Structure 1
Amino acid sequence: MAKTFTFELVSPERLLLSEEVEQVVIPGTEGEMTVMAEHAPVMTGIKPGVITVVRAGSEREQFVVFGGFADITPDGCRLLAESATRVKELDRADLARRIEEVRAEVQGARDHETRTKAEEFLGQLTTLEGALLPA
C-alpha cells in the first residue's frame, strides 16, 4: 500500500477537500506535477487546469481550478485556489463567462504587461475549455 499524505483544496468560498490521499496531480505554472508522500518542500503557482486526486485503492476525483498556489511539504499539500469546483459540477456557461471576461480584459488592457498576462490567462482558459467541454 502506498504512503498517504494530507491534501487540502481550499477556495475562497469553501474547503472542497481535506483528506488522506496517495497522490495529487496539479497544473503548476512551470508544468504539471505529481505530489506524493514525503515530497520535497516547494511552493508553486497554479494555472487554470485540472487537479487529479488519487485515493487509496486508485479511486480518482478531478477538480477544475482557476489559478492559485500550492504549499507542498513532506507530509501534506495545501492548494489555495482562486476558484475551484469538481469537474462533474462544472458549468459550461460559467466557464464561457470567465473566458468572455478575460477577452474584455485583453481588449481593455492599457499596457503591454497587462495585455500579455491577460492573453496568457485567456489561452489557459480556452485550452481548459477544449479539454473539458468538447463541442
Structure 2
Amino acid sequence: MPGKHFPLPVTEEEIVELTVDALDALVRRLTPRALDPRPADDGRATAQSQALTRLYVVWQLRSALDRLEYEAAQDAVAAGAGYPQLGRALNITRQGARNRWPDLISHPSHAPADPNPSRSSCDDHDPSL
C-alpha cells in the first residue's frame, strides 16, 4: 500500500520547491561549462545555444538522478528494506518497486523444505534414530 511510513519535517510541496531551487542553481552553474566556448554569430544564436545547452544539462541530470535513486534504493535494501518499503517511499506499490528494480533484492530460486536437511522428519518421532 503506497504512502509514507516515515516522518517528514516539511511538506512534499516544500521538498519539491527546495529541490527545484537547488537543481536550477546546479543547472545554471553547469550550463556555461558545457557550452561551446566559441562565440556565436549573433545574440539569437547565443540565446538559442544557451537554452539548448541548459535543456541538455537537465536531461543529463535526469540520468544522474536515476543513478542516485538506484544507489539510495540499494542503501535502503542494505539497511533491511524490502519491496514494500521501497514502494511506500516512492508512493508506489510493492509490485511497482519490483518492476522498477527487478534484480535489486535477490531471492533464492527455491528454499529447502527442511532448514536442517541432515535430519529426517522421522527423527522427531523415533528417538532411537
Q: Please report the TM-score for the alignment, with normalisation by the length of structure 1.
A: 0.21
Higher relative contact order (Cα pairs below 8 Å, separated by 6+ residues): 2
Which one has the largest radius of gyration?
A: 2
